[in-house]
Each structure stands twice: as structure tokens, then as C-alpha cells.
Amino acid sequence: MTIQPRTLKGFRDYLPDEMIPRERLMETARRVYRSYGFSPIDTPALEYLEILTGKGSEETDRQLYRFEDHGGRQVGMRFDLTVPLARFVAQHINKLGVPFKRYHIAPVWRGENTQRGRYREFFQCDFDTIGTLSVSADIEMVLVIYDLMRALGIEKFTIRVNNRQILNGLLEKLELTDQSTAVLRALDKLAKIGSDKVMEEMVQAAGATREQAEQVLQLSELSGVNRDVLSGLAPLMAGSQTGESGLCRLEELVEGIEAAGVGQDNFCLDVSIARGLDYYTGTIVETFLDDLPSIGSVCSGGRYDNLTGVYTKQQLPGVGASLGLDRLLAAMGELGLSEPTRTTAPVFLAYFDADRLPDYLRLAGGIRAAGIGVELYPDPKKLAAQLKYASARGFRVAVIAGPDELQRGVCQVKDLAARTSEEFGTCPALDPLVDGIRQILEKHESPAG
């Protein structure tokens, strides 16, 4: 009797054609995070249930995978990387010291309703700076996102920035502080449902007057170059300590980001974005792809005052963002920024003459020693079958040597895309062959490399 091979509902396998671009994206993220001094950490998939419950929303509590372990402990699978970060920092802060800059790329689990097209296992890819209030860390968050997008070969993107204190300051002035959650929830929908419906929600769900709602919506009308937005804000914030402090912070932020060379094409103030999550207290960011705004923000985050409050009395502020891996991968596919491939090595070496496996092994070893990945076909099948395999997998170059060529100390090098072929020498050294391969590969360099 055989057991039907299948994955659980809401879970998925990643085949090479999906996993290769995922790995590439994660590697690019790591490289960029590291270039700013963020360090990797990891935490267990399982935590004590009490560590996880009540830290997200009611929804995440309901979705939590929970059970009793072998020792009778109540445990749960992590549903995000923020709660484990808070627990981790509270537990190890004396050893870690501040500023503590970490990144964490790992799977999380939520028993989501799969009808919404969501998966129950997905990767998060977060970076955060803990233990400093400096605007420098806020600026760096934006710079990391900027470098990351460009490292991925994306040029048309906009990082939208705001500060929660701007919103809070205005709500203070309008005496809407008590209704702030409901008002901001409505405001957050602006891009999706338009200002009329937001207005309606503010009045009906949040209990604002039409006049108050109109004043909140004024924020969304402040646009243009960043300097103009800042000057437009000044009168709106005047008199509110919170608002003025937020504005001052935004000014420093804009100055730093511009000094670092980020242009207005890729960065703008959008003082109407609120981001739902309650815990943000300062800078907030969202990142949109100009050619595909409908998929939403691909990298979002912000500043929070107190990461570890549940676990320790020590107050630790932080700032950081999370890259939406799945969303970004889908977008890059749609925008043609990820080349479809099922192979990790660019060169295919045909195994042609059954008796000369050692010669093929030597060839493969020599090409690899030159830093070029090569897959040797394992069986001496007909050349047509091998080349069919090579093309289907997406190899760039095929190296072919039959008995005659091996005898003469040469190889055929085939550019599989251009369908051209040329002969190169392999004796006494492989240099001509390696140069020939390199020439073809350089023609095909992909932006996201």
C-alpha cells in the first residue's frame, strides 16, 4: 500500500524554479543588511505559548498553531518575528548591548483562512535597530530599503515616509485623540477606497464630525516635493507639542536621506499614511513599486517606543522594517525582473563517451576551479537527449567533447540561447575553454546577479 504524497492545505513546496529566485532575494537582503552592520540571529520555531499569546492581534491569537509538547508544556509556533525579537532582546540584552542591530530571515506560521489566498507558512525578512532614539537609525532604515530595491534591479519604486507624531499632533489639536485608532484605521484605507468613503468611515465608525474629518483629510492633500510638504505642515502642527516634534524629526529625516543621495524619484513624504499597527510611535515607511502599486507595500516598518515591555521593565526603543518576500517575488516575476531558471550552475557538460568519465571529471573540476559552476550529466546518453535536458533547465552554456575532441584536446562550447557554437582548446591548460565560457556568460549577466 502506498501513501498519497501531498502537502497540507495552505502549505506549499518550493521547486527549484521558485526556490532559486527566493534564495537570491534572501541573499541580496542579507548582503544589504550586513553592509549596514546588521547581524543575523535566529530563534526557535516553538515558544512557550504565554510568550506568543496576546502580543499580536486577536486574529493572530486565533491563528496560532498550539499544542502540548512531550513534557506537557503548552507551546506555539511563532506567528511573526517581532514577538520572538522582543523576547530575545529582553532575555539577552545585557550580553547584546546597544545599539543592537539584527536581521532575521525565517519562516512563521499562521492557521490563516486559505480562501483569502494566504499561505499558512511564509518567510519574514526583518531588520531592526534596538536601543537608540537617534534619527540616524530612522534614516538608515530608509537607506537600507533604497539599497535593497536597487540591489534587486528595481529602479522604479517609491519609499513613502511619515511620522506618527504628525497624525497624533493633528488629532490632539482636533481633540480626536480618544478616537485615534478608529480615525487612523479609516485614513489607512485612503489609497484603496478614496477620500469620500474615508470621510464617511471617520464620521460613522470613529465618531468624528465632518469638519474634523475634513481637517484630517487635509493631510492627504499636502503633496509635491518634500520641502513643500514640510512647509505645508508647519501651520497644521503649530501649537501641538507632539506635532511640532514630529515635524522637526521629519525635517531631520529628509535632510539625512537627501544627503545620502536618495532622490525624490524614490522617496517622498506622504503624511496621510498611518500603518495599522498600534505599536508604531514615530517614523513610518511603506514602499511601493511604481509599475505595480496595486500589490501594496513591499517593505514596511517604523519606529516603536517600547519593544520589550511585556517581558522586562527596561524600556528599549527600536526602529525597523520587514521585507515582503512573497509579494516582492510575485512582483518581480510580473515585471520581468527575475529570469526563469531551474539551474544554479550556468554551464552544462555533456557526458558523451562512456569510457572517459575521468576526462569529463577533470574538465568539470577545471571549470569549477576557475569559479564557474558546471553540472556534469551523469549518464552517457545520446547528445540530443542531454541537450534537451540542458535547454529545459535553462543552462546558458553547453560544453561538448566526444572521443574525437577529447583526443584532440578541444571542446565545443555552445551558447544555448544564441544557438552558436565554437571550439576551444583544453591542452595543456583549460584557459582558452574557460575564457570562451566566460565570454558567453558575460553577455547574459542579469541585473539581480
* Separation of alpha carbons 198 and 186, rounded Å: 5
What b/e sequence results for 249-267 when a residue is b if at least 16 CB atoms lie within 10 Å of its CB, and e otherwise?
Answer: bbbebbebbeeeebeeebb
Residue 375 touching a copy of itself (CB under 8 A): yes
Residue 48 touching a copy of itself (CB under 8 A): yes
Residue 271 touching a copy of itself (CB under 8 A): no
| Shortest Cβ 193–a copy of itself spacing (Å) | 31
Q: Return all residues near 6 (Cβ < 8 A) that are at least 6 apart.
A: none
| Shortest Cβ 50–a copy of itself spacing (Å) | 6
φ, ψ dihedrals at 416, nearest 5°: -70, -25
Q: By CB under 8 A, how many residues form the interface with a copy of itself?
A: 111
Residue 107 touching a copy of itself (CB under 8 A): yes
**From the list 60, 124, 212, 343, which residue makes contact with a copy of itself (rule: CB under 8 A)?**
343
Burial of 414 (0-12, 13-18, 19+ CB in 10 A): buried
Q: Return all residues near 210 (Cβ < 8 A) that are at least 6 apart.
A: 199, 203
Helix (H) or strand (E) holding 77: strand 74-77
| Shortest Cβ 270–a copy of itself spacing (Å) | 22
Instruction: Give yes or no for a contact between 131 and 317, defined as CB atoms under 8 angstroms apart.
Output: yes
**From the list 255, 265, 334, 431, which residue makes contact with a copy of itself (rule: CB under 8 A)?**
255
Residue closer to a copy of itself by CB (options 205, 357) is 357
Residue 267 touching a copy of itself (CB under 8 A): no
Instruction: Give yes or no for a contact between 20 and 344, defined as CB atoms under 8 angstroms apart.
Output: yes
Residue 277 touching a copy of itself (CB under 8 A): no
* Separation of alpha carbons 328 and 10, rounded Å: 20
Residue 386 DSSP SS3: helix
Residue 280 touching a copy of itself (CB under 8 A): no
Instruction: Give yes or no for a contact between 143 and 263, defined as CB atoms under 8 angstroms apart.
Output: no
Which of the stretches 100-108, 236-244, 332-340, 436-444 binds a copy of itself when contact is defined by CB under 8 A? 100-108
* Separation of alpha carbons 129 and 320, rounded Å: 6
Residue closer to a copy of itself by CB (options 68, 422) is 68
Residue closer to a copy of itself by CB (options 28, 179) is 28
Residues 141-180 that bind a copy of itself (CB under 8 A): 143, 147
* Separation of alpha carbons 13 and 17, rounded Å: 11
| Shortest Cβ 293–a copy of itself spacing (Å) | 27
Residue 121 touching a copy of itself (CB under 8 A): yes
Residue 128 touching a copy of itself (CB under 8 A): no
Residue 419 touching a copy of itself (CB under 8 A): no
| Shortest Cβ 167–a copy of itself spacing (Å) | 25
Residues 208-247 that bind a copy of itself (CB under 8 A): none
**From the list 126, 128, 140, 415, which residue makes contact with a copy of itself (rule: CB under 8 A)?**
140
* Separation of alpha carbons 181 and 309, rounded Å: 20
* Residue found under cell 492627504: 220
| Shortest Cβ 372–a copy of itself spacing (Å) | 8
| Shortest Cβ 441–a copy of itself spacing (Å) | 14
Residue 362 touching a copy of itself (CB under 8 A): yes
